[in-house]
Every structure is written in structure tokens, then in C-alpha cells.
Amino acid sequence: MAMDFTTFTNIIGGKATTTAETQQPINPSTREPNPPVPLSTKKDLDDAVEAARKAFKSWSQTTWDARKSMLLKYANAILDNKAELAVLSTREQGKPLMIAVLELELIAGRMPDLAEIKLEEELISDVQGRKVTKRYMPLGVGGLIVPWNFPVMLLVAKIANAVLTGNTVICKPSPFAPYTGLKLVELAQQFFPPGVINILSGGDNLGPWMTAHPGIDKISFTGSIATGKKVMESCSKTLKRVTLEMEGKDPAIILPDIDIAVVAGQVAFWTFINGGQACMSIKKVYVHSSIAKEFVTALIAATKAFKIGDGFEDGVFIGPVGHEMQYEKVVGFIQDIKKEDGEIVLGGDIERFKHSPGKSGFFIDPTIVFEPGEESRIMKEEPFGPILPIATWDDEEDVIRRANNTDIGLGASVWGKDVTRAERIGRRLEVGSVWINEHMSGLGSVPFGGWKSSGIGVEYGKEGLIDWCNLQGIYVTSEAKSIGFL
Ligand code: NAD
């Protein structure tokens, strides 16, 4: 069924619903307002919770195979609508159209992989007329809270993990980028029963209302560490389950034996993809000192090849920073870099775009800083923008220690022709995903999550599905035996 991609509503219990008040987030490339979206009230949340609880009764009884079949049809429909969805994505978040298409293809492609997994009831023992079984039961209603940087992939992943296991959901996109989420959930109505997948667009108060709501059983949150802590604190009041997917400060460790041009190209790509606004993008480099000079030269050359601009322009690879608050944060990082040690070897001119005709959006040049201090802000914190610090190393033990000397543990990559050495280093890194001679890849069948402050729980894989379930042990004795001494 053809959809209209110009007007946007909440979806509650399978129905499009509007709100008295609306909001208009802006396109970060042009600063022009996008169309109005709902500004949900507490009553809208109550209605969505009621619809999701009602739908849970029958959805939780649907067979796994039926749910899988609906999910796969939905994945295909996402692909069928990718052109329109990608335009919305570029308009709400600024990312290049080709990356927006890639995001849609990637998440649709992960669903069959995830749906291959089935949480079957397991017979643990069957001895002397007594059977003990373990089974996985859905939790109930999930609140799905996502950020603005990959609003498609992050939301659809949460929906897939939750509904495949028999849960119903209420989605909350970021107030900065609600458009693709609203249309993705509208599209889902063609495949799932009413009330299984609901969505509310709202302001800053909607997330806290959800985490406090007694009718929601679990919150699956992706966002910053600071917000994740608030989510967990609020969820503790009603003992909701939580999955938290938070910040990354992924190091790329570069061994001395690399093909410099190839690896510099890879590192530039996985650093500046989505303008550095990816939880798993490379956020610091440790390059072996023997090749540091040549590597930095090659990295600068590779980065200079990236075109910056509006995501609708041909050939653009780096779009704007996603919104004004984030832009000010990234500018603050550049200002701090200028006060600290380290040489800015590329970019760093925050005024340049302010004076470029036709570039009124939140653009920042990719910026590379060489040898900032190990304790500098840019080596420690996630800027979530196009800035890359580079440090050097000589001793393997030392670089492992430095890479692990952080409270952030999302991902890391090691690059080298000596794969044995690269893997040996990789296996000692305290992060949820390790890549050797690649970065940021993932499969629907492999659990994804962070260590330390980067996360609690996982998404994808068998374990990601288990995180959406209550476990139950069932002990069945064929006939009650009398208690001997009575
Ligand atoms: P954020 O924490 O500001 O917001 C994330 C979501 O939480 C938004 O929908 C927001 O409206 C909502 N929210 C805000 N305050 C809330 C509260 N008190 N209670 C409940 N919900 C609340 O993050 P952001 O700026 O939108 O996203 C960027 C961050 O997300 C980065 O730090 C990035 O690393 C992280 N991220 C992590 C992953 C991952 O998989 N680990 C993926 C993408 C982004």
C-alpha cells in the first residue's frame, strides 16, 4: 500500500493519531523547518500503553514462526520504500543520501539473519518420571528510546528484537529526528496486528514519562551515558528491565606493517562516516611511531578527498552536525584542543562555513589532531563530530594498557598484516566488539553491546533476544509422591 511521506502522525493501537500541539525540528543542512510532528502528552502515552498491553495478550501467544514471517515481510517493505525513507532521513539528520540508503539496506539485511535464531523450549532433564524444562517468555511492553544519529537502524533493530520474542512496543524517536521513525512504524502496521508496534513523537518530557510509567516492563535505550544513567535510575523505581546502548570511544591500533595508503583510507572512512556521529566510528588512533609521519600524511590526503555539504548534493560524504546543541558541543571540543597540547594537522577552522554562501547549516571541517596529551579531553571523551585525535605507540603492552585505560568500552579495531599479532592485541581489549583489519561491521546473529559505561545488555544474536524474555523453569513430576513421614 502506497504511503504518504509528507504528513506525520503518532501510531497508537494501529491508528494514526494527532496531537493538539506539534513541533518542527529543523533540517541541519539548511536550518529550515521540517514538517510538523506530534508533541505527545501524558494521555497519549497512557493510550499507547493501554493499546500495547491489550495487543500483548494475543501477540505473546502468536507462534514464533508467524512473528518471524511478519518481520521478514516488514524487512522487504522497508527495502521497497527505501527511496522515500532515505529522503526523510537526509532531511532530518543531514546524512548523505547514499548513507541513508545504506542504513536502510543494512538493517533490512540484518533481519533475516536475526530471524534465523529461535529461542526454543529446552528439556534440561527427564529422569524417573520428572521432566525439567527451561523456556523463554516475553516480558510484556517495551519502551524503545533512540537517538538522532541512526534513527532508522537503531529503531528497527529494537523493534525486531522485541517483537520477534513476543513483546509489544512503544517507540520514541529523538525530538531532533522523528520522521523516519514515524513512517517506519506506520509501514509496520501493514504487517503486524494493531497495538504491537506503537510510536509517539514528543518533547524532552516524553522519555522520562516512559521510564517512569508502571505499564511499561522494559526500556531499551540508545543514547549518551549521562541520559542512560537517568534512564536506569528512573527504571529502578518500577524495577523495569533495561538494555542500555551508549557512547563509544573506539580506538584503532595501527601496527607498523600495514599498507599505509589502504589503511589510512579505511581509517578516514570509518572515522568520518556520518560526520563522526556514529557510536562505533573510530574516535582515536594509536599508530606505531615508526610509520606515524607517513600514516598521518596519508590520512590527511584521504580525508581531504571527502566532500562536505548538504546530503542531497552529489558526492557529499560528510554532512552537517545533527543539530545546534551538538554543533556547539563539537565546537567546544575544537576550542579545547586549541588550548591543550597537540598539533591540529587538518581542519579546526570553525569560522570557515559561517562565511560560506549557501552553507548555513551546522557544518564543521573534518579535524585531525596529532599527539594531544593522553589525558586531554579529546583523547578521553566522545565528541560525536568530525574530530580525530592521533597518538603514537612503541610497546605492545603499553598500547593495550592505554587503549583499556578508559571507562568507555564499545568497540575497537586493530590493523596489521601480521594478523596473529593484531588478533592477539584485539583479544585483550575491553570492548564489546573487536575488529581486525575492518571496523564497525555487525551481523544480526552476533550480540552487540558495550562494556563498562558503554552499555548494559545486548541487542541482536541469541543473547539480544533473551534480553527481551523472562526465563521460566518448569518441573513436571508425573505423579505426586507422598511425603514419607506424614
Ligand atoms: P541522548 O542521550 O541525548 O538522547 C537519546 C534519547 O533519549 C533521545 O530520544 C532523547 O529524547 C531521550 N532522552 C533524553 N533524556 C531522557 C530521559 N531523561 N529519560 C529518557 N529518555 C531521554 O543522546 P543523543 O544525543 O540523541 O545521541 C547521541 C549519543 O548516542 C552518543 O553518545 C552516541 O554514542 C550514542 N549512541 C550509542 C549507540 C550504541 O549502539 N551504543 C548507537 C548510536 C548512538
Q: Pick the residue whose CA is nearest to atom 35 on ligand 1.
A: 223
Helix (H) or strand (E) holding 155: helix 151-164
- Predicted TM-score (pTM) of the model is 0.97
Question: 149 CB less than 6 Å from ligand 1?
Answer: yes
Pairing relationship of beta strands 408-409 and 451-452 according to DSSP bridges:
antiparallel
pLDDT at 484: 84
50: annotated active-site residue: no
Of 342, 295, 346, give the one whose Cα is nearest residue 318: 346
Q: Which residue is closest in CA terms to ligand 1's atom 15? A: 227
Whole-angstrom CA distances from 200 to 237, 407, 472 are 23, 33, 32
Q: Which three cell numbers stand for residue 327?
A: 554543533
Which of 145, 213, 325 to mutate for ligand 1's pocket (most ligand atoms within 8 Å of CB)?
Answer: 145
pLDDT of residue 360: 83
**Ligand 1 pocket residue status of 151, Cβ below 6 Å:** no
Q: Is 32 a catalytic residue?
A: no
Q: What is the pLDDT of residue 1?
A: 73
Q: Where are the alpha helices (DSSP H) in 60-140?
A: 64-80, 82-93, 97-115
Residue appearing with cell numbers 551481523: 443
Instruction: In whole angstroms, give the CA distance from residue 317 to residue 270.
Output: 12
* pLDDT at residue number 357: 66
| Residues 341, 371 contacting (CB under 8 angstroms) | yes
Place of cell 596529532: 370
Among 149, 227, 230, 243, say which to mutate for ligand 1: greatest number of ligand atoms within 8 Å of CB.
227
In terms of C-beta distances under 8 Å and separation of at least 24 residues, what long-range contacts does 429-432 make, across chains too?
429/251, 429/400, 429/403, 429/404, 430/404, 431/250, 432/458
Mean pLDDT, consecutive 10-residue segments, the chain of 486 residues? Answer: 93 98 97 97 98 98 98 98 98 98 97 96 96 98 98 98 98 98 98 99 98 99 98 98 98 98 98 98 98 98 97 97 96 95 94 76 97 96 98 98 98 98 98 98 97 98 98 96 85
Neighbours of 65 (CB within 10 A): 10
pLDDT at position 342 is 93
